[in-house]
Structure 1
Amino acid sequence: MPNNIASTNAILDFPRLLNIFLFYGVACIIILSIRESKNMLEINKFDRIIVANWKLNGSIDFIEQYLQELNCSKLENSNNCGIICTPSVYFHKLVGRLNPLFLGGQDCSNYSEGAYTGEVSATMLKDASCQFCIIGHSERRQIFGQSNEDVCIKAMNLIANNINPIICIGETFEEKNQNLTKDIIYTQISKSVPKNATKDFVIIAYEPIWAIGTGKIPSLEEIDNIHSFIKNEIQNIENYKILYGGSVNSNNASEIMDLKNVDGVLVGGASLDALEYKKIMNS
């Protein structure tokens, strides 16, 4: 009998419950509106952007030692934008401990929510205090089959959550030998960069695939020429921040970043050494 009364009361109170639902629904909309109204970080104020991509590396002990050696508060060049892109399971160990550096993700889902086991959405990255996210890395494209269209969707999801995308592009060694570098880059950018992207918020990282982790890099002239091509000859991409990636370390980073058309570097293996990354940040 009490259960029946409870059910009847719930039905009779439906208008009141509806009002409560509408009230909290409005509140939720207001909260979401406030959240979406936050401005994305403007990147043009930085002289250089230096991204550490840890890839599938790290541990809690590693992070503690890394932060101690990096000593973020003692970094010399405040005009540089440093970004640490870690595996997502370690975000909570870095939040609030990187200032003045920023936390970044290494990829995000095409989807916002739903039955997609193992995926991490742009909304989740935002909740985890990520300000940047790498997308379209050659390892994601080659190993996991991500297409230019996938990268474009990811970029749109990140922008919708006020996260700055770092869109990776680059050619294989075979494509380079066939003189297809500019054609490949043009296609990747045209299809990967969404129409609502702007130079104020979106970063492009040129990483020739044949240079990643091999110790081989293009000549300084080749790097500058490709960056000039991207900045000046691809429609709607004029004056974007363009990073170079591929076997970057403290020995070559400074001369690469001194090139006219290079705005920073994407550092892979070398970024796992905190002192090495610190040298690059201070260069």
Structure 2
Amino acid sequence: MPRKLAAGNWKMNGIGASLVEVEALLAAWPNAGCDILLCPPATLLSRMAERVSGSSIAVGGQDCHVAASGAHTGDISADMIAEAGGSHVILGHSERRADHGEDDALVAAKTAAAWGAGLIAVVCVGETLDEREAGRTIDVVAGQLAGSVPDGATAANTVIAYEPVWAIGTGKVPTLDEIGAVHDDIRARLSDRFGAEGDGIRILYGGSVKPSNAAEIFAVSNVDGALVGGASLKADDFGGIISALQNA
């Protein structure tokens, strides 16, 4: 069984004073029974990495460029994330796909760049509300999975995060059966494509996960943890999710 992972995506939130939440998390969970990952904005990456150095909490970026360096104003490379102390990077998040027009081919190229820098890629997939209502969820997610994950994915270099776009930050959550159907299909496709490595690639659920619903979500087949947005900004909220995960 893959080790469970609680991942927090701070998105465009947090300033230096926000690192007090990391201190609180460290104090509350010095030896959690699951892996913990925090992905702050780039301005906090190195400072957060310093705070958690030597602990069980890992730090990652929220995106990276396909190139290692160059004339790409405002971008950050995978090598820069690694040098700042990051071990992971979130790629292909629906907000990147929607706001910046990122397609599967670009996500795959970024994933390869992340691997090249020694980072673990957290590759996001998920359908819109229109796609779900049209009965296309499995086809859409399968297409994103095939196009966004390059050959060479292993349990050590890749995590998949299923985030139905319509559930992110809305308070809406798919039924447990709906979550299970997508996660089971993702697992089958990973196992078919990558063999034993695909069996061990962790599949996270994301989309309005909070302490009150975490335990039931984590009991679903092939849910190996969560990619959490707003609820990861406060140690108390994220701690409730961590508690539910380590008891799953």
Instruction: Confirm or deny a common fold (TM above 0.5).
Output: yes
Indicate if the aligned counterparts of 2:9 and 2:40 stay in contact, CA closer than 8 A: yes
Kept in 2: contact 1:104–1:130 (CA 8 A): yes
1:282 — aligned with what? 243
User: CA separation in 2, counterparts of 1:125 and 1:153?
Assistant: 16
CA–CA separation in structure 2 for the residues paired with 1:76 and 1:221: 34
1:31 counterpart residue number: none
1:276: Cα distance to partner? Answer: 0.5
Q: Which residue of 1 aligns with 2:44?
A: 90
CA distance in 2: counterparts of 1:50 and 1:123, whole angstroms: 24
Q: Deviations over 1:74-116 (max 9, x none)?
A: 3176330100000011112212322210001100012111111
Which structure 1 segments of 5+ residues have no match? Answer: 1-43
Instruction: State yes or no: 1:236 paired with 2:190.
Output: no
SS in 2 for 1:236: helix
Give the whole-Å Cα distance in 2 for the aligned partners of 1:85 and 1:246: 16
Q: Supply the distance in 2 between the matched residues of 1:52 and 1:67 (Cα, whole angstroms).
A: 11
Task: Report what 2:215 is aligned to.
Answer: 254
Give the Cα–Cα distance (whole angstroms) in 1 for the partners of residues 34 and 189 of structure 2. Answer: 27
1:181 equivalent to 2:137? Answer: yes
Query: Which amino acid is 2:87 matched to?
Result: Q
Q: Give runs of ≥4 in structure 1 deviating > 4 Å.
A: none
Structure with larger RCO (C-alpha < 8 A, sep 6+): 2
Which protein is bigger by CA-based radius of gyration?
1
RMSD in angstroms over aligned alpha carbons?
A: 1.5
Q: Deviations over 1:246-273 (max 9, x none)?
A: 0000111121112121000010011112
Local SS of the residue matching 1:231: helix
1:205: how far off? 0.2
Please give the alpha-carbon distance, in whole angstroms, between the structure 2 residues aligned to 1:273 and 1:83: 14
Cα distance in 1 for residues equivalent to 2:188 and 2:212: 28
Seq. identity, %? 37
Q: Which amino acid aligns with 2:193?
A: N
- State the TM-score, normalizing by the size of structure 1: 0.80
The count of residues paired between Structure 1 and Structure 2 equals 237
TM-score by length of 2: 0.91
2-side partners of 1:74 and 1:62: how far apart?
16
Match of 2:156 in 1: 200
